[in-house]
Amino acid sequence: MCIIGGIGQESSADSVLRVGTGGFRAFAHRGGSAEAPENSLAAFAHAVSLGYTDIETDIRGTADGVAVIHHDATLDRTTDGRGRIRDLTWAQVRRARVHGHEPILRLEEALEAFPGVRFTLDVKEAASVPAAIDALTRTQATERVVVGSFSHARLTRVRRALPVATSASPTEVARLAMAARWGRSTRILARYVQVPISVGRVRLVEPRMIDAAHARGMEIHVWTIDDPSVMHDLIDRGVDGLMTDRPTILRHVLVSRGLWHN
């Protein structure tokens, strides 16, 4: 996830997401996977109980087109099930349990269960795209969703289908980084830059990148940050939000700095 650019026309989703956010954004990454089973109802409920109104999560599509919340391509790592989600029907996927006891959620279930939450959705593969579009269309939840992807093609398909706010693709992040370094102009149809601190030896979260994004009216959100000292450093550098697997720790840091507004 990431962004920048000479932005085109702003969508209604972009404007709504900036209203009443209280400034700094705190995201529970996969619901806060170090404190509860990742991407589960329990994780989301825990984050909400702490006061979080932004949750980052992942979308996969089943063989019969159901958008489900799950990070990996397969069920094997986090559940008692087996197999690739895109090869399984929802009836098969729903029998798996995260950490042996938490059910896998459909995207629609999560949106309905937490109507006051803004969801940042990482569309993980091609099968995720039509499933996510269908779920967001049925729930009419586009105004409280940000969609990101590691594939520019997937993100383009979502942008063409829905009036939804997006983060920048890796291609767009690279264009932003070049623009920041060389002072060039670039146009990217995204509202948010959602990136790790570095990719390999290349540091993304550095003053020129932050300034370039802010000059274009864009927010920079950094993932996945669990160390309090790093949280403080990034806030000092001027980032606009942090994603964490440890929502209790990030909340404590933000409270100590007077930045907890959720």
The residues carrying an active-site annotation are 29, 71
The pLDDT value recorded for residue 57 is: 98
Q: What is the pTM of this model?
A: 0.89
Residue 231 has pLDDT above 90, yes or no: yes
Interval 152-206: pLDDT, tens: 999 999 999 999 999 999 999 999 999 998 887 888 889 999 999 999 988 999 9
pLDDT classification of 23: cutoffs 50, 70, 90: confident
For residues 229-255, give the mean pLDDT: 98
**% residues pLDDT > 70 (the chain):** 91
Which segments of the chain are extended strands (E)? 25-29, 54-61, 67-69, 97-98, 102-103, 118-123, 145-148, 165-166, 192-196, 198-199, 202-203, 219-223, 241-244
Token pair 């990742």: residue:
38
